[in-house]
Structure 1
């Protein structure tokens, strides 16, 4: 029988007991929430309970596990729920509670707080989680394998421009995908239509400036493609036109799509400058 610990503080002795009760999947769920900050029941079901015969069975199993983790203050849920087609428990938004945050916190790191966030920040964060889950879905189809996915702040790169100005590049996601023949690398930017096109162009110029340093090419062997995921076809056209009209921006560096085009766009191929053909053994 699984131990049901009292809902007390996250002291050292309680953390030791909790750690002994965690399954590998429990630890992976906590790590996922630590990386993403927020995820819905549907996200967690699709990533960690995909082996069940039906969505209903997977959802029920997922909710049982989440409620156990909730009981032990490893995770908590927001009062608000996500919009869209999800209903009921599947629409619940989860984050790390005190004990879960403590168990996933690196030695010497400061405590992170997850609960109090603005609605725009939460929407953006959940859309990043959507995108990562979509990559996992696509990988399960056999289109590619996921070598690595980084999230902020692990995606950040500080650099100095040719003019001597210190800048920081802050991609929402970095993805390294592989097939038997290719490695493909992407910086992904999630736009919900809340920023002006000039603001997005300014970030494009940051990518161009970082590319000019050669640092990413030295790290990866190629400069990753920059994939903008925007909410509507009209915004795709507006951003793509603005990039094309800016003489300082290399057009082939940027791809602009809507979320439904992700699967068709992201698969490694030799037609993009962000793809590396693997050497013969």
Structure 2
């Protein structure tokens, strides 16, 4: 089912009563979908249903909650599943329904509509969701804390170029990961391998232009590291060489990894090179 129910089917009074019945975890699930738009059953299990004896038990508990929120018309799911083929209930893709969107909408924010998305957009969105959950999982097992995690459009930054034009930096994610000694700031770019290298280099130039304004240093005390997460080792090598060959790019600003390297990189940014985005706490 991929219907997005009409908001008028749930009256303000019904919505208020419904809100009172929600558990803290229900609210967390709705808030997560409000922030990241799309998530699979597996994503939500990994994020909010971790205290179970097995993955199967956790999946069953996840589905019980999601099915209840579905019946309450707070969330709904797409007909398609991950990969475009049936892979069981863990492959359902969920998003807010109209009542859930109303319940989580910030004051004075426009209504967000969920049209059936094109697969490339949906796949990219799910990869961003997966990256965010991996960061939270890392923090749950290490002496790290996810202090801040922003996705579009909250992660975007507008600025003036030297030519006086308005430009917008559009990272997929912005994250601040804290340890006992450091705050590490990251702009994360999730690349699916579909864009040409010139397109990626142009985005790198936008980062360099934003760095030159000094606004990020004012906001964070340092300029965050830009972390490209690309699908293959070959693409890692190609993008790294292309950045190094561009005389206008500060190559130490950028790191390029594959998804399997994300955890090690966040744990120890120096495994790539000495970080430009690390600030020792007083």
1:166, distance to aligned residue in structure 2 (A): 1.4
TM-score, with length taken from structure 1 = 0.94
1:87, distance to aligned residue in structure 2 (A): 2.6
1:220–1:268 CA distance, 2 compared to 1 (3 A): farther
1:143, distance to aligned residue in structure 2 (A): 4.4
The match for 2:14 is 14
| Bigger mean CA deviation after superposition, 115-124 or 39-48 | 115-124
The match for 1:273 is 276
TM-score, with length taken from structure 2 = 0.94
Aligned length: 273
Q: Distance in 1 between matches of 2:92 and 2:84?
A: 12
Q: Distance in 1 between matches of 2:143 and 2:249?
A: 30
Q: Distance in 1 between matches of 2:233 and 2:85?
A: 21
Q: Structure 2: any 5+ residue segments left out of the alignment?
A: 1-6
| Bigger mean CA deviation after superposition, 137-146 or 251-260 | 137-146
Q: Distance in 2 between matches of 1:115 and 1:109?
A: 18
Q: How does 1:124-163 map to 2 (within 5 A)?
A: 124-163=124-163
1:148, distance to aligned residue in structure 2 (A): 0.8
The match for 1:98 is 98
1:109, distance to aligned residue in structure 2 (A): 2.0
1:133–1:85 CA distance, 2 compared to 1 (3 A): farther
TM-superposition CA deviations, 1:112-148 (whole Å, max 9, x none): 1124211110000000001001111111111411111
The match for 2:4 is none
Provide the secondary structure at the position in 2 that maps to 1:83: helix
1:86–1:131 CA distance, 2 compared to 1 (3 A): farther
TM-superposition CA deviations, 1:88-121 (whole Å, max 9, x none): 0000000000110010011222211124211110
CA contact (8 A) 2:155 2:173 kept: yes
CA contact (8 A) 2:227 2:255 kept: yes
Q: Distance in 2 between matches of 1:91 and 1:278?
A: 41
Q: Distance in 1 between matches of 2:206 and 2:64?
A: 45
1:182, distance to aligned residue in structure 2 (A): 0.5
1:84–1:254 CA distance, 2 compared to 1 (3 A): farther
Q: How does 1:259-270 map to 2 (within 5 A)?
A: 259-267=259-267
TM-superposition CA deviations, 1:176-210 (whole Å, max 9, x none): 00100010000000100111000000000000000
Provide the secondary structure at the position in 1 that maps to 2:9: coil
Q: Distance in 2 between matches of 1:175 and 1:229?
A: 14
Q: How does 1:163-242 map to 2 (within 5 A)?
A: 163-242=163-242
TM-superposition CA deviations, 1:58-86 (whole Å, max 9, x none): 11100000000000100000000002999
| Bigger mean CA deviation after superposition, 84-93 or 116-125 | 84-93
